[in-house]
């Protein structure tokens, strides 16, 4: 599967998968393969699939819905410019329109020549049972307690104590990092590499974890910022 065959992004109430042009069966296989390679990110998600102008019938969409259901993913909506596909979606009880709007920037906002990436910002403590997934970066202003879980397509930054499970670069980004004022996660994963934090010794300090030579390593934040 080539990366350009599908595009994944977060929307207000789920995850949107845009399927590029090509034979539907081939592209359906590519979507499922991509999901299988990023199970932790997609598990339990509500999925919106944009199939463009393809004329898909009920059996086609039912097959996709069943395959997603087997992976604990709910097919919520199918977007298409084809009336055939829209009717088939409605017959299966699927939505054919979703809110993809993004907030307009304020007129007096500060202009910047620096490029940025999409992130979700949480100003709260995440407790056991809380699970946050986002295709971009995740920033938490608060603690992440044991039993909480963060899964990000990009970086994870916790301005507090990190004690739960974290997965940065969940869609294969080996350049992703995890930062925290007190980095002691139950489990830390970057791309497809997993590590368990060793017992802390001495006073907690800000640290950053990243992949080095295929291994998850953590070091003092001040040393990283001086490089």
Say yes or no to pLDDT of 7 above 80: yes
Say yes or no to pLDDT of 225 above 60: no
- Residue 42: count other Cβ atoms within 10 Å of its Cβ: 23
Mean predicted confidence (pLDDT) in 157-161: 95
Distance separating alpha carbons of residues 151 and 205, to the nearest angstrom: 23
pLDDT tens-digit series, residues 48-101: 999 999 999 999 999 999 999 998 899 999 999 999 999 999 999 999 988 765
Say what percent of the chain tops pLDDT 70.
85
Distance separating alpha carbons of residues 30 and 49, to the nearest angstrom: 13
Say yes or no to pLDDT of 200 above 80: no
DSSP state letters, 41-71: HHTT-EEEEE-TT----HHHHHHHHHHHHTT
> Which residues form the domain of 9?
3-91
Q: What is the CATH number of the domain that holds 22?
A: 3.30.750
Tokens of 227: 């490089």
- Are 182 and 133 within one domain? yes
Tokens of 84: 């055939």
What pTM value is reported for the model? 0.61
- Are 31 and 124 within one domain? no
Q: Are 183 and 200 in contact (CB under 8 A)?
A: no
Residue 87 in 3-state DSSP? helix
In this structure, what DSSP letter does residue 36 have? H
Q: Is residue 111 part of a domain?
A: no
Q: What is the CATH number of the domain that holds 155?
A: 2.160.20.70
pLDDT tens-digit series, residues 27-43: 999 899 888 887 777 87
Q: Is residue 157 part of a domain?
A: yes
Distance separating alpha carbons of residues 181 and 208, to the nearest angstrom: 9
pLDDT tens-digit series, residues 121-147: 999 999 988 888 888 899 999 999 999
Q: Is residue 112 part of a domain?
A: no
Please report, in angstroms and rounded to a whole number, the separation of the first and last CA atoms in the chain. Answer: 37
Identify which of 157, 122, 158, 121 has the alpha carbon closest to the alpha carbon of residue 143. 158
Q: Is residue 129 part of a domain?
A: yes
- Are 60 and 139 within one domain? no
Confidence of residue 199 (pLDDT cuts 50, 70, 90): low
Average pLDDT, the chain: 84
Say yes or no to pLDDT of 223 above 90: no
Domain tally, the chain: 2
Say yes or no to pLDDT of 181 above 50: yes
């Amino acid at each position: 599967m080539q990366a350009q065959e599908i595009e994944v992004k977060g929307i207000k109430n789920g995850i949107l998968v845009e399927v590029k042009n090509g034979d539907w069966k081939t592209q359906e296989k590519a979507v499922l393969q991509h999901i299988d390679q990023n199970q932790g990110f997609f598990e339990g998600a509500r999925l919106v699939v944009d199939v463009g102008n393809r004329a898909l019938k009920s059996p086609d969409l039912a097959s996709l819905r069943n395959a997603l259901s087997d992976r604990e993913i709910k097919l919520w909506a199918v977007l298409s410019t084809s009336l055939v596909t829209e009717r088939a979606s409605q017959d299966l009880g699927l939505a054919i329109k979703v809110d993809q709007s993004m907030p307009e920037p304020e007129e007096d906002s500060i202009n910047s020549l620096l490029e940025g990436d999409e992130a979700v910002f949480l100003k709260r403590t995440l407790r056991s049972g809380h699970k946050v997934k986002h295709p971009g970066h995740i920033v938490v202003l608060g603690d992440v307690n044991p039993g909480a879980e963060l899964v990000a397509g990009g970086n994870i930054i916790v301005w507090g104590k990190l004690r739960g499970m974290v997965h940065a670069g969940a869609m294969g980004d080996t350049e992703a990092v995890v930062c925290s004022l007190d980095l002691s996660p139950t489990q830390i994963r970057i791309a497809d590499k997993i590590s368990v934090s060793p017992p802390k010794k001495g006073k907690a300090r800000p640290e950053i974890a990243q992949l080095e030579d295929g291994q998850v390593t953590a070091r003092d934040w001040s040393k990283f910022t001086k490089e």
